[in-house]
Every structure is written in C-alpha cells, then in structure tokens.
Structure 1
Amino acid sequence: MTMKRYPIVIALAVAGSFAGCWSGGVIQLYSCDDPCYGLDAYECDDPCAVCEGGCLPLPPLGFDDPIVLWTSDAADEAPVPECPAEAPFVVFDGYGGSGAEHVCPTCRCTEPSCELPRGLTGSASAACDGAAPTSFDAPEGWSGACTAPAAVSSGELGSLRIEAPTVSGCAPAIDPAGALPTPWGARARGCAGSADKHTCREPGKMCVAAPMPLPTGFAMCIRYLRSGAPRCPEEYPDLRELYQGFDDTRSCTPCGCGPLEGSACTALVSVYEDASCGQLLGAETVTLAGPKCVAGPDLRIESMDAVWIKDEPGSCAPTGGVAAGEVTPEGASFFCCQSDEVIAVP
C-alpha cells in the first residue's frame, strides 16, 4: 500500500537534511538523497522529485492522460511539426473538420474562329465538274493576303470552284483556378511523453512532460476513450472533434462543349490574271452555306486574295463540371483541451 505524504512536516533535531511525514501514526523519516528510506520500492513516492513539464488536473473517468495536441489553422499549409523533445511519441495523427465546399473546376470552351477558304479548284468544264481538276491551294493559315499559287500549266479553265469558309471547332478547357480542395480543414498531431501522478505536490494534479510554455499551435488535451462526444470538464473546456481519415468520393463530370451556334462567316474572294493581284479577273462572296462555282470562257488564274465581309464565328456553350459524391469523415476522436484562459502551472 502506497503511503500518502501530506505537507505536515514535523521538525526533528536530526543531523543532516532530513524531513518527516506523519502516516497512520508513524513518522517516516527521509532525505532527498534517500527518499525511500525504510520503504519497499512499490510503496515509495519520491517527495523530492521535480515535475519536468506541467502539473495538470487529473483527467476524469473515461479520459486518457493529458497529451500535447497540435492543430493547424484551416488555411495554414505549413507541414505537420515533429513532436517536441519533451513529448516525443506520436500518439495521434489525423485531421480536423471538412474542407472547402465541393466546387468543381469551371468548364470553358475555346473561342472558335472563321477561317478563309483553303483554295480554288479549276475545271475545264463550265460546271466545276471536270474529270481532271486543277487545285490552287492557299498557304497554311492563309490570312487573305495576295498569294500566287501555281498557274495552269496548259489549256484554259472553263470554271472555278471557290471553297466555302469554315469555322474552327470549340475545345473544352478547364479554369486552372478551380481544382478540388483537400477533404479536410486542418491537420492534427498528438504527442506524449512521460506522465507521473505522484510528482506534483498539489492533490488532484499530475505531472505531464511537455515544453513550457507550449509552442504555437499546441495545447494540453485529454482524449475521450468512450464512444460518442463527451461533456468536457471545466479544466479542459475546449472540445475538438478530429478524424483518422476521410472517405472521399467527390468527382466532377468531364468538361465538354455544346454545338457551335451563331456563326456567320462571309468572305470576298478575288482572283487575278497576274501573279501580283493587279489584274482582276473576278470576285465572289462565299459563306458557310457552301462553295460557289464561277463559270466563264478562257479563265486563267495566277493569284488571289480574300477579305472578310462578316467575321462572326459564334460560340459553344460549355458542359460538364457538375459536382458529384461527398466527403465522409472516418474514425472520429474527441479531445477536451485547455483553453487560452487555462494555463498549466509547472
């Protein structure tokens, strides 16, 4: 049976640094050099020990011994710190709260553009349906400036087929500012060291190894060992609900683009008999409706140019980016912590 020593010291005229305790009618003498004089090891509470940490209130039934708990701010992206040297053992690694609202990235569509005809096709017949057509191709990415494709090598043309302009398609794009956030709102780590229920002189308190004062972000907390949420005691009033992890089933429907709407592209294409767009042979407007056939006797072409009359490519409506799924926290743990107003006394 461990004898309790209360701070009732009887002055004894004994040489050396001795003190005495009254226990059950027996005066127990001891010195700090030999605090367990006359006692078995299991009976001895060292009256000279000094608390290396903080003297904290004993936890109520259902709670574990106090630990040092670090919790990050929800917006803090700093890494999880190592446990302090005084409490080096990691006893909890988890997360706090839920992350930001599940908002999917914004789906967008690239802007389409009106594109000039890719060239002309000459035919010996007057109906643009000759068996051996001759192509006059515009350069890649033609802007409409004067260009001189290869001229007809022999014979004469009876018709010219002017191709229709086209509209480049819309491609889905994702707003880079809209990535899914992490499923948690904060990180947490619990650290523990030695705990001694007999070092502190004040009844109802125990010595817990911890750096004093506590580093920023750390608090002294007790973990609830039973199911459900506890009612925190007065000495540890701050309830914190933390989790071991999350089941994250969030997703977003893929981005896409709807049909092209509102396009109106009209170009005036001119052909010339010389190679520098000086001797006009003729000009014709073409639209998205289709190519045009220009017939005439003795047609010759050595250059061409084009200008836009109407350059309205239209637009595509983005699709997708719809949120689905949810975040479910797993492995809830409840901690009661000292608030800023409750200061541990070493």
Structure 2
Amino acid sequence: MRSTPYLALSASALLGCVEDLNLPKPRIHDNPVLLWVSETPDFPTCPGGRLDYWDGWTDVHTDPQYQNECGTCTCGPAACALPDRMLVHEAPLCAGEEGIKIDLTSAADPPGHCVELSSPIPGDAFAAVTLKPPTMASKCDASEQHAPPPLSGTYARACPWIGKYTGKFDGSVCIAPDDDGSCPLGFSARFEFQEKIRDARTCTPCECGAPVGGSCVADVLLFSGASCSHMLHPGNGIGTREQLCYETLEDFPLTGVRVVFAQDEPGTCSPTTPVSLVDGTIESGETRTFCCSSADLMEVIDANDDN
C-alpha cells in the first residue's frame, strides 16, 4: 500500500515544461533513500538487491482486547501405553526376581501384531510368567503453544537511492529534513518512524494438572506355535495397578506374544493456567524523519537527466 501522496502535477504536464521548473533533487550528502511504506510488514527487496536498508515502524500495537493474552490453555490426554516387557520364570509361582526378559516395546506398533521370539523358550524353562501392567502417562501435555497476538501499525523500509527511481519498487525518494526540522520544497511529504529492532514478545507456557479418570486395560496373549498360533494363555484384563503371575500347566514352548488393549480410555487433565499471557515487549530504536517527494516528480527528473 502506497501511503506517500502524489503531487498534483501529472508526469505528462511536467514533461512539457521541465526546463522551466526548478525541480528538486535529493541532496547527495543527505544519503537519499527510496522509502517503502505499508500497513503490512511484507517488506520488499531493495532495488539492486541492496542489503544496507533501514527498517522502521510507527503506531505499532495489538488489538486492545487481546494485547495481554496469547490464547486459552488446553490440555491433551494422558495416553495409555501397552506393557513394554514380561518375565519368563523357570520356577513355578514366579518365584524369585530373576527371569528371562521379553521385550514387548515393538508390540504396540501396530497393536496386536505377533511378536515372535528370536529364540523360543522351551517348555522345561517356562513354568510361569510375570505379566507387567499397562501404564497411563503421569502428565498431560499442553495441546498448543501459543504465539503473541499479531501487530498492527505502519511499516517502512528505506533502501539506498540508486540514482533514479525504479518503478519496480513501490516507494518514494526521500531525504533528511533541514537543520530546523522542516522539509524543503518538493520534498514536503514528512514521515517519522522508529527503528524496528525486534518483536521480543513471547507467551507464558501452558501447564496441566495431574490426570484424572481414564482406564487402561491390556490383554497379553501367549502362543506356543509359529506366527502366534496355539494360544496358551489369554492374559485378559490386566489393569494399570496389577502385575499378574501366570503358571503354565502344559509342557509347551513359548514362541510368540500378542499385546492388545481391552480398554484404552486416556485420562484427562485441566490446565493449571487458564490463559497464556504475553511476556516481553516490542523493541524500537531512535526516531528518523524522512522528507519525501512523489514518484511522479522523480520520474520526470530521471527522464530529464537521460536527455
């Protein structure tokens, strides 16, 4: 959006009498610039790919209704997890703490698929198994981390003047004001911007309370045949606070395991902080004044210079 006003004289009228006009030109010692102004921070690329530009803004603010808030805090579920291991005991009644550990971490991806043992456990070494319970996550994660509310204002980019106006850059030619602060004839469009340092605002994190409710119940299915055939024990209904011991009554090897959910109802959490708040400020630098000419007038200057 162009906010610099055009002069009333049209380019065609000026071209007819350009030699009779005392057309102003940027004073070289003022480091003239091409000034882009917009209500959106979509800064353009400077002509010639110049990187020594200056960015500024003015009247930067947020909607008063939301200036101190980033958003409402919500919490995700406390997920259920299938048992990640079991122990195979050679002695009955799961006696002693020692046993052959069977890793079941892969049983959850996807749930219910056959976990075949790389080395089947023979029947004479398989008297009982300790079935570990499923678990529920001890906490809930905040479902969203918010960003600060968007800014509104007027934005500017001052690019080095490359000696002539370029129509590909939607801006005006500007110089510094006179010593008394006034703008000279032909550069009477006056703008003031503060240097744009950075938006240093962040949002306070959302936090969640302890999980409540939910139900995690697993079935651990044991098999003695290839590809999880010939079920030995269904292991049904193992809750989160249970650790079951199952004794084998037949002399069969253990060759595979399936683990599935009988109930998968995650717990829920309430946010301990209902709202994420804005923390930090917008950082601005010194104010800079620009005295600007219309693009139409500078096009006439360039055309005259070419002749």
TM-score range, shorter chain: 0.5 to 0.7
CA drift of 1:97 comes to 2.4
The aligned residue for residue 334 of structure 1 is 289
- In structure 2, do the counterparts of structure 1 residues 69 and 104 end up closer, same or farther at CA, with 3 Å as the change threshold? same
Quick one: which of 76, 79, 83 aligns to 1:117? 83
The aligned residue for residue 124 of structure 2 is 154
| In 2, Cα distance between equivalents of 1:68 and 1:54 | 17
Bigger strand fraction: 1
The aligned residue for residue 71 of structure 1 is 36
The aligned residue for residue 95 of structure 1 is 56
Bigger helix fraction: 2
CA displacement, residues 54-83 of structure 1 (integer Å, 9 cap, x when unaligned): 258xxxxxxx98966512433433223369
| In 2, Cα distance between equivalents of 1:163 and 1:213 | 73
Once the two structures are aligned, what percentage of the paired residues are identical?
21
SS in 1 for 2:229: coil
How do 1:297-336 and structure 2 match up within 5 A? 302=254, 303-314=256-267, 322-336=277-291
- In structure 2, do the counterparts of structure 1 residues 241 and 317 end up closer, same or farther at CA, with 3 Å as the change threshold? farther
CA contact (8 A) 2:126 2:248 kept: no
Runs of 5+ unmatched residues, structure 2: 1-18, 302-307
| In 1, Cα distance between equivalents of 2:282 and 2:107 | 49
The aligned residue for residue 172 of structure 2 is 218
Report the AA paired with residue 172 of structure 2: F
Runs of 5+ unmatched residues, structure 1: 1-49, 57-63, 84-89, 194-208
| In 2, Cα distance between equivalents of 1:54 and 1:181 | 42
CA drift of 1:127 comes to 4.1
The aligned residue for residue 291 of structure 1 is 243
With normalisation by structure 2, the TM-score equals 0.58
Rg larger for? 1
The aligned residue for residue 277 of structure 1 is 229
- In structure 2, do the counterparts of structure 1 residues 145 and 235 end up closer, same or farther at CA, with 3 Å as the change threshold? closer
| In 2, Cα distance between equivalents of 1:154 and 1:297 | 11
CA contact (8 A) 2:36 2:170 kept: no
CA drift of 1:325 comes to 1.4
CA drift of 1:330 comes to 2.0
CA contact (8 A) 2:172 2:293 kept: no
- In structure 2, do the counterparts of structure 1 residues 226 and 317 end up closer, same or farther at CA, with 3 Å as the change threshold? farther
CA drift of 1:135 comes to 3.3
- In structure 2, do the counterparts of structure 1 residues 126 and 98 end up closer, same or farther at CA, with 3 Å as the change threshold? farther
CA drift of 1:327 comes to 1.7
CA contact (8 A) 1:94 1:189 kept: yes
CA contact (8 A) 1:265 1:288 kept: yes
- In structure 2, do the counterparts of structure 1 residues 94 and 118 end up closer, same or farther at CA, with 3 Å as the change threshold? closer
CA drift of 1:162 comes to 0.9
Aligned length: 264
- In structure 2, do the counterparts of structure 1 residues 213 and 324 end up closer, same or farther at CA, with 3 Å as the change threshold? closer
- In structure 2, do the counterparts of structure 1 residues 297 and 154 end up closer, same or farther at CA, with 3 Å as the change threshold? closer
SS in 1 for 2:219: strand
| In 1, Cα distance between equivalents of 2:56 and 2:277 | 27
Report the AA paired with residue 238 of structure 2: V
CA drift of 1:95 comes to 1.6
- In structure 2, do the counterparts of structure 1 residues 317 and 240 end up closer, same or farther at CA, with 3 Å as the change threshold? farther
The aligned residue for residue 191 of structure 2 is 240
CA contact (8 A) 1:224 1:336 kept: no
Matched, 1:187 2:156: yes
Matched, 1:130 2:81: no
CA drift of 1:332 comes to 0.9
Quick one: which of 113, 123, 126 aligns to 1:145? 113
CA drift of 1:163 comes to 0.7
CA drift of 1:133 comes to 2.4
Report the AA paired with residue 133 of structure 2: A
CA drift of 1:181 comes to 7.9
The aligned residue for residue 200 of structure 1 is none
| In 2, Cα distance between equivalents of 1:245 and 1:226 | 25
| In 2, Cα distance between equivalents of 1:122 and 1:238 | 86
Q: Which structure is richer in relative contact order (CA contacts within 8 A, separation 6 or more)?
A: 2
- In structure 2, do the counterparts of structure 1 residues 164 and 100 end up closer, same or farther at CA, with 3 Å as the change threshold? farther
Report the AA paired with residue 290 of structure 1: E
SS in 2 for 1:278: strand
Report the AA paired with residue 71 of structure 1: W
CA drift of 1:147 comes to 3.6
- In structure 2, do the counterparts of structure 1 residues 224 and 315 end up closer, same or farther at CA, with 3 Å as the change threshold? farther
